[in-house]
Amino acid sequence: MILTVTLNTALDLTYRVPALTPHGSHRVTQVLERPGGKGVNVARVLGALGHDTVVTGFAGGPNGAVMRNLLSRSPVRDALVPIAGNTRRTLAVVDDATGDTTQLNEPGPAVTPEEWSAFLARYGELLPAADAVALCGSLPPGIHVGAYAELVRMARGAEVPVLLDTSGEPLRRGIAARPDIVKPNADELAQLTGAREPQRAARDARRRGAHTVVASLGPDGMLAVTPSGLWQATPPAAVKGNPTGAGDSAVAGLLSALVDRLPWPDRLTRAVALSAATVLSPVAGEFDGKTYDSLLKQVAVEDLAPAA
Amino acid sequence: MILTVTLNTALDLTYRVPALTPHGSHRVTQVLERPGGKGVNVARVLGALGHDTVVTGFAGGPNGAVMRNLLSRSPVRDALVPIAGNTRRTLAVVDDATGDTTQLNEPGPAVTPEEWSAFLARYGELLPAADAVALCGSLPPGIHVGAYAELVRMARGAEVPVLLDTSGEPLRRGIAARPDIVKPNADELAQLTGAREPQRAARDARRRGAHTVVASLGPDGMLAVTPSGLWQATPPAAVKGNPTGAGDSAVAGLLSALVDRLPWPDRLTRAVALSAATVLSPVAGEFDGKTYDSLLKQVAVEDLAPAA
Confidence category of residue B307, pLDDT binned at 50, 70, 90: low
pLDDT in tens, B268-293: 999 999 999 998 887 777 888 999 99
Q: Do A28 and B104 touch (CB under 8 A)?
A: yes
Instruction: Test A24 with B103 for CB contact under 8 angstroms.
Output: yes
Q: Pairing relation of β-strands B10-17 and B88-95? A: parallel
For residue B103, give the nearest of A25, A65, A95 by CB distance.
A25
Per-residue buried b or exposed e for B275-287, using 16+ beta carbons within 10 Å of the residue's own CB: bbbbbbbeebbbb
* Contact yes or no for B171/B164 (Cβ under 8 A): yes
Mean pLDDT, range B116-135, rounded to an integer: 98
Q: Could you tell me if B11 lies within 8 Å of chain A, comparing CB atoms?
A: no
Residues of A in contact with B95 (CB under 8 A): 22-23
Per-residue pLDDT at B243: 79
pLDDT tens digits, residue range B52-91? 999 999 999 999 999 999 999 999 999 999 999 999 999 9
Contacts of A20 in chain B (CB under 8 A): 22, 102
ipTM of the complex: 0.88
Query: Which strands sit side by side in the sheet containing A88-95, from one edge to the other?
Result: A30-36, A10-17, A88-95, A101-105, B25-27
Integer angstrom CA distances of residue B232 from A97, A276, B252? 44, 65, 18
* Residue at A80 is within a domain: yes
Residue B107 near chain A (CB below 8 Å): yes
Q: Determine whether the interchain pair A107/B22 forms a contact, defined as Cβ–Cβ distance below 8 Å.
A: no
> For residues A173 and A143, what is the distance between their CA atoms, to the nearest angstrom?
13
pLDDT in tens, A62-103: 999 999 999 999 999 999 999 999 999 999 999 999 888 899
Task: Indicate which residues of B carry an active-site annotation.
Answer: 248
User: Is there a domain that residue B45 lies in?
Assistant: yes
Residue B257 lies in a domain: yes
Q: Which residue has the higher pLDDT, B308 or A76?
A: A76
Q: Are the beta carbons of B54 and B3 closer than 8 angstroms?
A: yes
Task: Give B175-226 pLDDT, tens digit per residue.
Answer: 999 999 999 999 999 999 999 999 999 999 999 999 999 999 988 999 999 9
Instruction: Please give the pLDDT value at position B306.
Output: 63
Q: Is B41 exposed, middle or buried (0-12, 13-18, 19+ CB in 10 A)?
A: buried
Specify whether the CB–CB gap between A68 and A80 falls below 8 A.
yes
**What mean pLDDT, rounded, does chain B reach?**
94
Q: Is residue B29 in a domain? A: no
Which chain B residues contact residue A27 at CB under 8 A?
105, 107
Is A103 within 8 Å of chain B by CB?
yes
Taking 70 as the threshold, does the pLDDT of residue B308 lie above it? Answer: no
Question: A20 — contact with chain B (CB < 8 Å)?
Answer: yes
CB-CB contact of A11 with A66 (8 Å):
yes
Residue B14, in any domain of the structure? no
Q: Which residues of chain A have pLDDT under 70?
A: 306-308
What average pLDDT does range B116-126 have in this prediction? 98
d(Cα A116, Cα A83) in Å, to the nearest integer? 9
**Nearest CA to CA, how far is B154 from chain A (Å)?**
32
The last residue of one of the domains, among A110, A132, A160, is: A110
Q: Which residues of A touch B91 (CB under 8 A)?
A: 91
Please give the Cα distance from A238 to A211 (Å, whole number). Answer: 32
pLDDT score for A99: 83
Q: How many domains does chain A have?
A: 2
Give pLDDT tens digits for A239-272: 777 778 899 999 999 999 999 999 999 999 999 9
First-residue to last-residue Cα distance in chain B: 38
A68: which chain B residues are within 8 Å (Cβ-Cβ)? none
CATH assignment of the domain containing B281 = 3.40.1190.20
Half-sphere exposure of B126 (CA within 13 A, CB side): 25
Amino acid A306: pLDDT: 64
User: How far are the Cα atoms of A78, A206, B140, B148, B170 from residue B116, in angstroms, in the given order?
Assistant: 38, 65, 11, 12, 16
Decide: helix, strand or coil at residue A188: helix
Confidence category of residue B26, pLDDT binned at 50, 70, 90: very high
Give the pLDDT score at A94.
92
Shortest distance between the Cα of B284 and any Cα of chain A, in A, equals 15
Would A210 be classed as within a structural domain? no
Shortest distance, CA B100 to any CA of chain A (angstroms):
6
Express each pLDDT in B87-109 by its tens digit. Answer: 999 999 999 998 888 999 999 99
Whether residue A22 and residue B95 make contact (CB cut-off 8 A), yes or no, is yes
Q: What is the pLDDT of residue A48?
A: 95
End-of-domain residue from the set A84, A110, A136? A110
Is B125 contained in some domain? Answer: yes
Residue B23 is nearest to which of A28, A101, A107, comparing CB atoms? A101
* Closest residue in chain B to residue A106, using alpha carbons only: B28
> Which residue of the set A220, A248, A266, A293 is catalytic?
A248
- SS3 assignment for B227-286: CCCEEEEECCCCCCCCCCCHHHHHHHHHHHHHHCCCCHHHHHHHHHHHHHHHHHCCCCCC
Range of the domain at B297: 2-6+37-87+110-303
| CA distance, residue B236 to nearest chain A CA (Å) | 27
The answer to whether B98 contacts chain A (CB < 8 Å) is: yes
Is A99 part of the contact surface with chain B (CB cutoff 8 Å)? no
**Is residue B12 included in any domain, yes or no?**
no
Q: Which residues of A touch B101 (CB under 8 A)?
A: 23
**A28/B102 CB distance under 8 A:** no
A147: exposed, middle or buried (C-beta count within 10 Å: 0-12, 13-18, 19+)?
buried
State whether A102 and B23 contact (CB < 8 Å). yes
CB A31 within 8 A of CB A41: no
Query: A245 CA to chain B: closest CA distance, Å?
Result: 14
Q: Are B169 and B185 in contact (CB under 8 A)?
A: no
Q: Is residue A12 flagged as an active site residue?
A: no
